[in-house]
Structure 1
Amino acid sequence: MQSLLLLCSCLTASLILIEAEVDINIATANQIHKNLNRTVSPCTDFWNFACGGFVNNSKYVDNFEWVEDQFASAMVEFMESNLGEDDSRTPRLIQKMRSYYKACKEDKQNVKTSDPLDELTDWLPGFSKFLEHGLNGVFFDERVDVAANDSTRLVIQIKMPELSASYSAQRAERLLRLYKLEDEDVVRRLIRNLQELQDKYRVENPVVFTFNYSEIKKQIPLIEWNSICSQLLGENHTSEELDQLLFEVSDMEYLQEISQFLANLDSRHINMYLRTRLFVFIEESKPRERNPKSCIHHMRAILPLGINYIYDRFVYQNRDQDTRDVDKILTHLKKTFDIYLSANRLKLTAHQLTYVRAKLKGIQLKVGNLPEEKSDEFYDNHYESANFSDSSFLANLFQALALRTRQQHAGLLNPESKLDLKRYYVNDNVVKARTSPFYENERNTITVPMEFLQWPLFDHRQHSIFRQSLLGAVLGHEMNHAFEQEGILFDAAGNESLVGLEIRESLAFRNALKCAEGKPFVSLKERLADINGLQLAYDSFFGLDHDSRLFEYRPYAFESEFTAPQLFHLSYAQFFCGSLPPVIAHDRDDERVNVSVGNLRQFAYDFKCETSDSSICEMWRSREETVSTSNGHP
């Protein structure tokens, strides 16, 4: 017990320092002021005004790196302490996590760069062996998910590789060029042919076919399904068990042509490409540098259950309070959204309103990516079949990758292949763990990672204007993924629904989409979530009829320069402060902030900007003339 108290005192030292030196609200307000760039106008470039000073005043790239560093520091202290050595509840899990960490930190051996493929020559030819160890999205993407019409029924989804997989293919091609391997030109032509086939058949919403095992073997006969199933499910399955498998297959024409294409190739060339892609996959999965913190970040992604369990049990001090506060914010957002539905801007029919209200009511909150299962036995046995050592990081990495594959496929041979909801957690990315909250359509659930709930992004001691502006807008963003053009298709139970399709095809809904499409975007659904999420957070805090031109604001004790609405916007923008990241799934951060505040009609009132309401995009939000409800927060 004394060691636990000592560790906790060390892990919370930074927060105690904040309390000792300055009130948490003053610290938050001071941080906002440090980030400002007063050489620009908030009306012309709000992100630059709110965040332009961040890079010069912070040692971190952005706020995510900041909170991730705090998390890693706490976990390093645990890993290098004696805490848990004599633990009677989950001794095996703790030992395996420490073994993986020790090898990651101390074993500096990598795949030899002189000729990296030589070390992978022992791998069996054929795709299934590589698939077993996590290499996916080369010729096609295979994953275990749930059925479109039954969010608890496990199916095997087969589809064309994701667009993002092309980056790995490009890295593999550069590797072949660098080492001038035998038959390099043939394999490089193979890569280009694969890309041409994907470009030829890629569509935004491909038709999905459902097959059983016998049917998929007939539809795409040249892929070795027997070998793949044996590798992924083990050799001891019966023909009856295979026959109960369901496959949801997208991009049928691509899969049929790629199977014919591969059947005509020399297996040596296929195997060389697979080994090249495996090397790239290893390089992408392991830490760029081996040090204590980078090993924790790597383990967050590849061993999420173990790392989150340890953090939750031994480190996290405020789970109960944080959960209550986050749930309170989400509840308030849902109440405001329900007022939107009463105004019915989109002119939904009665049964459509019932559909949306049921989904809104059913949205669940999950703090921390951990399953509902609480038994010590479950956690202690989770990594039992992985033979992690203290000395070989690469061997441990392959063990972890193979373990993930086994665990993701284990439920397929259960009766009717039902998802074990009590033991479900997100285990989806070996390269980068999620830090920001995320929404899952199939679960109708918002998960808030424990890493996120740290200052400067969140602290339960902060004034509500800080908590409800930043976290409120983030939760509002995730909540609105349930109601954008893709999310609306899923009902409250996570199943695709014709009612959702009716709503998406309605004139008012399509017009709302057209408005948001007015400026170039990377992802329309992310833009909609940004715009609608900020509007929802603002209305939830200030009230739906709030007009800052009608109020005289008293300064907060911790902030005298900015009025409450101005401080709300500045706090919201802090989420996006940092060096502008490369564009992947969202617009660039400055664009996200500027587009969002530009579509909040009150922002112009709050900062006394000139604007035209005709350019404002609103989807679910009530029109000004239809509301008369105020929450009275200013």
Structure 2
Amino acid sequence: MESLLLLCICLITLSPFIQADVDINVATSSQIHKNLNRTSSPCTEFWNFACGGFANASQYVDNFEWVEDQFAMAMVEFMESRVGDNDTQAPQLIKQMRTYYKACTGDTSKLNLNDPPQVVWRWLQEESGMFLEHGLNGVFFDERVDVATNDSTRRVVQISMPDPSSRYSVLRALELLRLHDWKDKQEMLQLMAKLQQLQRKYKEDNPVVYTWTYSEIKRQIPIIKWDILFGQLLGVHHTAKELEHLLFEVSDVEYLREAFQFLMDFESVPRDMYLRVRRLVLIQESEPRERNPRTCIHHMRAFLPLGMNYIYDRFVYQNREQDTQRLVEIMGSLKATFGKYLDANRLQLTPHQLTYVRAKLEGIQLKVGNLPAEKSPEFYDTHYESANFSESSFLGNLIQVLALRTRLQHAGLLKPESRVDLQRYYVNDNVLKARTSPFYENERNTITVPMEFLQFPLFDHRQHAIFQQSLMGAVLGHEMNHAFEQEGILFDASGNESPVGLAIRESQPFREAIECAEGKPAISLKERLADLNGLQLAYDSFFGLHHNSRKLEYRPYAFESEFRAPQLFHLSYAQFFCGSLPPVIAHDRDDERVDVSVDNLRQFAYDFSCPSQSSICEMWRPRGETAPTSDSLVNPKQ
């Protein structure tokens, strides 16, 4: 009854656009038309043609902000209602989530690094305990719990020089030091400069990774006080014998030795002060820039993923069964088409290599929502029991949640042989912003589709297959192809690195396909390959492997009279990327991603009557074109 009550609230809140008397396909088609910029040419600037009108048609920055806002509105309704107050399955979890939310929305105090020196100094004096234990990572070195390269269920501790992403925090710390005139300022600046110098000195694209036991890492890098470090991280004191089962994968060894020798010889006061400065930067980076109900929900999605996904799945999400069924069907069609690619064997794989790739293809799992398979109420209700949240102090809660996330990441190390409990596995990364788009994990050979993604305009189980296959099919195709690009191919069906994958990557046809994709510079080659191969796979899965637009005459859909099926497919795909162009971080800009992808889809030129491309990059897709056969086409007309 509580779930139905909340659903009524959410439907009123979330659906100003899709009214009960508006067909979902008419609504989708209408949105596509609103986003168009007809002053642009689809042949030369397809993204601009498909998305140039989005800014005028939408109140949102992009489609991700749109679906995230719908998710946030639904969760705000839950947090501010009485639904779940008398819950018998996970009352403690629900209470903890509401307590954290109440502090986030009600407590107005903020950490402002531009405050007067005496205010900031008070924060610096706060006792913080061990910094790594409280979530501060990547300052002197990077420490994380992952799985072994040759055993995807064996937990290992990875130690390396600071991750490149930490450079943003370094710059913020530098800004903070320049704002205030502290006694140890010059010494801290010298410390920062020395660490950066060492990182430049020892930076390697593919550093050697050593696998060591606990005894070996203590012997190889004795400068670090490993007993104290892991005593704090694991929450209790352990003897060296009790920690011997831990396994380490260590890279940048010479950096670690020289950096920690330098730190040991450096004055302890400025060294400790620099850690405190970086801790302040971490807290400021982690809190929402502006605290309001919706931003607090998004913040909690990132830092308390299990609790937020559990509540949404149980009390708000109403279409899991229908959505899952449709996603499984789409994924099945993608796998079947990729299987036909392998039949053609464009990359000239050996029988053994083909068996390797087919096993990986067959083994790819699809997961709706970042939740473990575990269903017991006790697991969820006790998962956050070590956190002590307050309704009155958001910054206090934030410090607690940073430490909580670290504890949960390391808790598995205490289990025999440190094995991943696949029944209770979920992604609990050190992210500041939660993922909304689907993502692929090599070690799990799994594509996870976040539940917030499964909303209009990105997906609705009632939509016609052309909308689902063009957008969701291309997104799933992109993620699926991460299993077969130059990094993903190294992992076998079980998520372990394999010499067979390495041999495929080093083969001449594979290298030639890579070189073709490199013809136009990309921020990330593996993302470029996933874009190109994912769109080609989605197109072939919907229209048929030997589809030829020049040999078919299309009737209009009942809900779309202007654009014929292939054109509508391309527009629906492109509009996944509609919005203000983002800063370039790990992917190319959205306009380039779309334009490069359609330029390398052979049928696109025919579909929009464009000049044919002389050079098209295809990796797994069979060579050449043949006329369509009666059994090779999915009926794209109705």
Normalised TM-score (structure 1): 0.97
CA distance in 2, matches of 1:305, 1:329: 27
> Counterpart in 2 of 1:143?
144
What letter corresponds to residue 452 of structure 2 in structure 1? Answer: E
> Counterpart in 2 of 1:11?
10
Matches within 5 A, 1:7-156: 7-13=6-12, 14-15=14-15, 18-111=18-111, 113-115=115-117, 116-123=120-127, 129-156=130-157
Q: RMSD of the TM alignment (CA)?
A: 1.4
Per the TM alignment, residue 64 of structure 1 is displaced from its structure 2 partner at its CA by: 0.3
Task: Indicate conservation of the 8 Å contact 2:157/2:247, yes or no.
Answer: yes
What letter corresponds to residue 108 of structure 1 in structure 2? Answer: T
* Worse overlay, 213-222 or 528-537: 213-222
* Worse overlay, 180-189 or 87-96: 180-189
Secondary structure of 2:230's match? helix
Per the TM alignment, residue 631 of structure 1 is displaced from its structure 2 partner at its CA by: 2.7
CA distance in 1, matches of 2:380, 2:366: 22
CA distance in 1, matches of 2:174, 2:269: 16
Runs of 5+ unmatched residues, structure 1: none
What letter corresponds to residue 60 of structure 2 in structure 1? Answer: Y
> Counterpart in 1 of 2:613?
612
Per the TM alignment, residue 16 of structure 1 is displaced from its structure 2 partner at its CA by: 7.9
Secondary structure of 1:222's match? coil
Deviation readout 1:457-480 (Å, 9 max, x if unpaired): 000010000001000000000000
Deviation readout 1:99-141 (Å, 9 max, x if unpaired): 000000000112353232431324368xxx1110111111111
CA distance in 2, matches of 1:251, 1:12: 53
Task: Indicate conservation of the 8 Å contact 2:101/2:297, yes or no.
Answer: yes
Task: Indicate conservation of the 8 Å contact 1:365/1:445, yes or no.
Answer: yes
CA distance in 1, matches of 2:153, 2:128: 35
Matches within 5 A, 1:380-419: 380-419=381-420
Per the TM alignment, residue 6 of structure 1 is displaced from its structure 2 partner at its CA by: 2.6
Per the TM alignment, residue 185 of structure 1 is displaced from its structure 2 partner at its CA by: 2.2
CA distance in 1, matches of 2:460, 2:429: 28
CA distance in 2, matches of 1:364, 1:588: 29
CA distance in 2, matches of 1:137, 1:91: 36
Deviation readout 1:531-590 (Å, 9 max, x if unpaired): 000000000000111111111110011111111000000000111000001111101111
* Worse overlay, 177-186 or 303-312: 177-186
Deviation readout 1:142-176 (Å, 9 max, x if unpaired): 00010001000001001122211101101110110
Change (3 A) 1:565 1:252: same
Aligned positions, number: 629
Secondary structure of 1:18's match? coil
Change (3 A) 1:488 1:117: farther
> Counterpart in 2 of 1:632?
634
What letter corresponds to residue 7 of structure 2 in structure 1? Answer: C
Task: Indicate conservation of the 8 Å contact 1:366/1:447, yes or no.
Answer: yes
Deviation readout 1:331-361 (Å, 9 max, x if unpaired): 1100000000000000000000000000000
CA distance in 1, matches of 2:634, 2:394: 56
Matches within 5 A, 1:148-547: 148-547=149-548
What letter corresponds to residue 318 of structure 1 in structure 2? Answer: N
Change (3 A) 1:183 1:486: same
CA distance in 1, matches of 2:236, 2:20: 61
Secondary structure of 2:152's match? strand
Matched, 1:581 2:550: no
What letter corresponds to residue 333 of structure 1 in structure 2? Answer: L
Task: Indicate conservation of the 8 Å contact 1:148/1:496, yes or no.
Answer: yes
Task: Indicate conservation of the 8 Å contact 2:135/2:402, yes or no.
Answer: yes
* Worse overlay, 586-595 or 214-223: 214-223
Change (3 A) 1:552 1:626: closer
Task: Indicate conservation of the 8 Å contact 2:331/2:476, yes or no.
Answer: yes
Matched, 1:556 2:560: no
Normalised TM-score (structure 2): 0.97
Task: Indicate conservation of the 8 Å contact 1:117/1:276, yes or no.
Answer: no
Task: Indicate conservation of the 8 Å contact 2:142/2:159, yes or no.
Answer: yes
CA distance in 1, matches of 2:468, 2:182: 56
What letter corresponds to residue 298 of structure 1 in structure 2? Answer: H
Per the TM alignment, residue 5 of structure 1 is displaced from its structure 2 partner at its CA by: 2.5
> Counterpart in 1 of 2:598?
597
Task: Indicate conservation of the 8 Å contact 2:124/2:273, yes or no.
Answer: no
CA distance in 2, matches of 1:617, 1:195: 39
CA distance in 1, matches of 2:87, 2:461: 30
Change (3 A) 1:526 1:17: closer
What letter corresponds to residue 80 of structure 1 in structure 2? Answer: E
Secondary structure of 1:20's match? coil
